[in-house]
Amino acid sequence: MGKLYDGIMGVVVGDALGVPVEFEERDTFEITDMIGYGTHRQPAGTWSDDSSMTLATLESLTRLGCIDLEDIMQNFYHWIHYGKFTPHGHVFDYGITTHQAISRYVKGEVPQNCGGKDIMDNGNGALMRILPIAFVPHKQSDIDALSALTHGHDISKRGCRLYVDIAEQIIQSKSLEHVVLKADMCEKEYQRVINIKNLNRDDIKSSGYVVDTLEAAIWCLYTTDNYRDCVLKAVNLGNDTDTVAAVAGGLAGLLYGCGGEKGIPMSWIEKIAQKEWIKELCQKAEKKFCIR
C-alpha cells in the first residue's frame, strides 16, 4: 500500500480513537488505547462522519477519475440519508452546518453554493474530509469549491488550503522539520500556525471551530515524533476529539506510514470497522492516480 492508504487510514484510526470521548472536557479522562462505547455507545474501531465524508469524497474521485462536485454531493446525500459510507450502516454523528448544506442540495441548490457563508459557518466539517484532494490533480479553486460544498466562508477555505499544502509537502517525502509553514499560506486567522510548536498545551483549543481544530492538529503533529503519540495527544485535548484526531491523524499517517515503530499501530488497524473495504478503495485510488 502507498501514501494514500497511510493518510486515509490515519484519518480513520484517529477518528475512531476520538469517538468514545467526543465532547468530553479536557483532563476529565485519559485515552491510551482504542476503546469503544462512551459518548456514542459504539464498539471499538467505529469511525464517524469525519471518515464517512472523507471516504465518500475518495470514492467519487476514484470512480470518476476527476473532481465532480455534483457526484461528491450525491455521495454525501446517500451517506446522511441512507447510511452509505458508514461503519455499521447508520449515521450517528453529523454537523449542523453540514446537514444544512446537504438539505440545500436536496432542495435544488447547485453544489458549490450549498455551504454556509456566514461567519458562524466555520466549523471543521470541510477540513475533516479534505485530504483526498491532495492526491489528485487540482488547483486552489478546486480546494475552495470542495470546501464550499458544506462550508463556504473564506476562513474554512483558507484552512483547507493550508492543510492540503502541508499534506502535499509530506506526500513529496519532506520530513516534518522541512515542512514549511509559510507566512503567505498562514494568512489572517492562521498566523499562530507559523510558530505552533512553541505553544503550550494550555494555548491550544480543541473546539469545532476550524481554526482551533487545525491549530490543535498541527500542534500535535509538531510536538510528537510518531503516529500513536500524535493522535493520543489530539484525543486527550478533549472536546471535538474525533475530528482533531482525524485531522492530525491524516498528516501523521502520511508522515509515519502504517506499522513499524513510528507508524499507525497494526493492532489499531485490526479493530477498524470495514477495514478491508477501506483498503480496497485505497488500492483502487492508488492505481487510478498512480500513487505509491
Q: Which numeric CATH code is attached to 3-288?
A: 1.10.4080.10
Which cell numbers in the block locate residue 140? 486552489
- What are the residue ranges spanned by the domains of the chain? 3-288
pLDDT of residue 80: 97
pLDDT of residue 252: 98
What pLDDT, in 10s, does the model give residues 116-125? 999 999 999 9
Q: How far is CA 40 from the centre of its chain?
A: 19
How far, in Å, CA of 248 to CA of 213, rounded?
9
Identify the CA nearest to 112 among candidates 51, 71, 80: 71
User: Kindly report the CA angle at 247 between 267 and 221, in degrees rounded to 5?
Assistant: 80
pLDDT of residue 187: 75
pLDDT of residue 211: 97
Residues of the chain where predicted confidence (pLDDT) is lower than 70: 183
pLDDT of residue 182: 74
The CA-atom distances, in angstroms, between 290 and each of 24, 142, 174, 176 are: 41, 20, 19, 24
User: Please, where are the H alpha helices in 66-177?
Assistant: 69-82, 96-106, 140-148, 154-171
pLDDT of residue 78: 98
Q: CB pairs under 8 A, 24+ apart, for 31-38? A: 31/232, 31/235, 31/236, 32/232, 34/267, 34/268, 34/271
pLDDT of residue 87: 97
**174-184 burial: b if 16+ Cβ within 10 Å, else e:** eebeebebeee
| Residue 171 · residue 135 · CB < 8 Å | yes
Rg (CA), the chain: 17
